[in-house]
Amino acid sequence: MGNESTRTPPPTGKRAERNRQAIVAAAREMFTRDGFEAGMDLIAAEAGVSKVTVYNHFGSKQELFTEVVGLAMGSAHATMAEVRTRLAETGDVREALLHTARALVEAATEPSRMALRNLVTGELRRFPELAAAYRERGPARSGHDLGELFGDLCARGRLTIADPEVAVIQFFGLIVYPHLIAGSIGGTLPPELAERLLTDGVETFLRRYGNPAQAPT
């Protein structure tokens, strides 16, 4: 990689933004299909720009991949924001957690996002900085978002959680991790089993952290 301090700033303006979006979209498709070995020249051709234009926007393939991963994770965080908005409109904590669980599973099992996750896992030894970027933009931020959601419910008296960090890990363990394990070996959970895991997971979580005195009547 070049020296970041001497790198020319990326292009700006409407045309540059269109090119950047096209590059990222092409890169996501190519990385998902071909892995990290996807060539920058092929990404440029798919985006309809020159290879020089790609490097004007992204100084390296690692930088481009990090951007692709960050945007893929960003859509999951937007979903969590919608969940928190919905929470403000319901007093039913069970329904709120079921909706949250379904949103998390949908985000985690989206095929291209799962392919990117597996790609990061496969490149851990060669590019540990990719894994660090993925953790920061993916699991760490998702955990933060879920912790804030639990905080909302605690503030409303719907949950009682003494250790939010543990509660977040437990919720992910009950709801999302089975899908990640299946996806890591190229499989998926049968829909009926996935639904049982989801509903039973929420019930288990509520038995641990729910506040029966605050349950809606």
pLDDT for the residue 5: 46
Phi, psi angle pair for 99, to nearest 5°: -65, -40
Q: pLDDT digit of tens for each residue in the chain (217 aa)? A: 444 545 677 888 889 999 999 999 999 889 888 888 889 999 999 999 999 999 999 998 888 988 887 777 766 666 677 777 776 666 788 988 998 899 889 888 888 778 877 888 777 777 777 777 777 777 788 888 889 889 988 988 889 999 999 999 999 999 999 998 998 888 899 999 999 999 999 999 999 999 866 554 4
> CA 19 to CA 57: how far, in whole Å?
9
65-212 belongs to which CATH class?
A: mainly alpha
Please report, for the chain, the start and end positions of each structural domain, with discontinuous segments joined by +: 8-59, 65-212
Q: Are 108 and 114 in contact (CB under 8 A)?
A: yes
**What is the CATH topology of the domain spanning 8-59?**
Arc Repressor Mutant, subunit A (1.10.10)
